[in-house]
């Protein structure tokens, strides 16, 4: 006689298969399986191989800011569709879909404290259209530097971006010059800028302010550069060196100053800020 089915009436096959879903995470680096809570406690850094998984904005704030607190500036700014652009789907529809997450655009800025030191803080939100830089992102970065200059604050900016936002055309490319101009005025005031390069930092973001920090600090293994390796190989018809455009390659060629694990990032940035701020009083 068959055993009685003890599955609750509301459960179906898909629910049975999903038992434990979200409890475990498989590392993208070494393939080891670990508890998701353990990975979260380590800010996405694998305990086995040190691979850095993507970290959301709440994780970055908890990692770098004292008490995870950020007093946001210009949180209400959101992009529009000035060109009426469509790439098979209207840009304004893409914006509305991305904004359903509660994010207004691909960056958040504000004032916080890092290791007891007041900072103007910027953080790219890669989940919003790949962290692409349109007119609103460029405007907020410009305001970040301008307000930091007025308040005589150092800037800490965490970049993770696919580059300029193609749906805004030349308006997005203009942000490269605008943000670098604001950074130059901040530097003229002898105030520090620490640029944190997360995976990936590419395109117009890498080609403008992201690699212009007084100290450029990268995560291990992060992809950093203008065009991607495949695009470059197809253009120059040559095989690129191993590890090309990764953090370690850039440090060996003088484009990155430090490679720091997230688990040591706050302490390292705090020490650098202390030295730079003391030398620029």
What class, spelled out in words, does domain 55-279 have in CATH?
A: alpha beta
- Residue 225's pLDDT is what? 94
Ranges of H-type helices in 21-151: 36-41, 57-64, 91-99, 135-151
- Residue 218's pLDDT is what? 98
Ranges of H-type helices in the chain: 13-17, 36-41, 57-64, 91-99, 135-151, 169-188, 203-206, 229-236, 247-252, 262-279
Coil, strand or helix at 271: helix
Preceding omega of 242 cis (within 30 degrees of 0): no
Q: How far is CA 208 from the centre of its chain?
A: 15
Residues (pLDDT < 70) of the chain are 1-21, 279-281
Contact 269/114 with Cβ under 8 angstroms? yes
**CA dist., res. 265 & res. 281, Å (int):** 24
HSE (side-chain half, CA atoms, 13 Å) at 62: 11
- Residue 21's pLDDT is what? 64
- Residue 1's pLDDT is what? 43
The torsion of the CA quartet 106, 110, 113, 115, rounded to 10 degrees, works out to 20
Instruction: Report the predicted TM-score, pTM, of the whole model to 2 decimal places.
Output: 0.88
**For the chain, percent of residues with pLDDT exceeding 70:** 91
Burial 214-253 (b: 16+ CB within 10 A, else e): bbbbbbbebbbbebbbeeeeeeeeeeeeeeebbbebbbee
Q: Where are the domains of the chain?
A: 21-53, 55-279
Structure tokens at 58: 């709440």
């Amino acid at each position: 006689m068959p055993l009685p089915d003890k599955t609750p009436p509301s459960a179906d096959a898909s629910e049975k298969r999903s038992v434990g879903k979200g409890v475990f995470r498989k590392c993208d680096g070494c393939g080891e399986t670990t508890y998701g809570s353990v990975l979260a406690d380590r800010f996405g850094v694998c305990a086995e191989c040190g691979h850095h998984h993507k970290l959301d904005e709440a994780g970055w704030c908890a990692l770098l800011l004292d008490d995870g607190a950020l007093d946001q500036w210009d949180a209400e700014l959101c992009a529009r569709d000035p060109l009426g652009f469509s790439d098979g789907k209207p840009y304004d529809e893409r914006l509305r879909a991305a904004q359903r997450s509660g994010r207004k655009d691909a960056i958040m800025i504000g004032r916080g404290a890092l290791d007891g030191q007041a900072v103007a803080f910027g953080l790219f939100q890669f989940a919003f259209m790949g962290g692409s830089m349109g007119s609103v992102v460029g405007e907020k970065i410009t305001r970040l530097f301008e307000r930091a200059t007025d308040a005589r604050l150092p800037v800490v900016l965490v970049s993770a971006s696919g580059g300029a936002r193609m749906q805004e055309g030349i308006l997005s490319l203009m942000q490269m010059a605008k943000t670098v101009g604001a950074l130059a005025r901040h530097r003229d005031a002898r105030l520090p800028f620490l640029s944190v390069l997360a995976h990936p930092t590419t395109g117009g973001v890498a080609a403008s302010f992201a690699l212009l920090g007084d100290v450029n600090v990268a995560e291990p293994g992060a992809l950093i550069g203008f065009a991607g390796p495949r695009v470059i190989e197809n253009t120059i018809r040559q095989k690129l060196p191993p590890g090309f455009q990764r953090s370690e390659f850039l440090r060996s060629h003088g484009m990155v100053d430090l490679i720091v694990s997230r688990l040591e990032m706050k302490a390292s940035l705090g020490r650098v800020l202390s030295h730079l701020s003391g030398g620029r009083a």
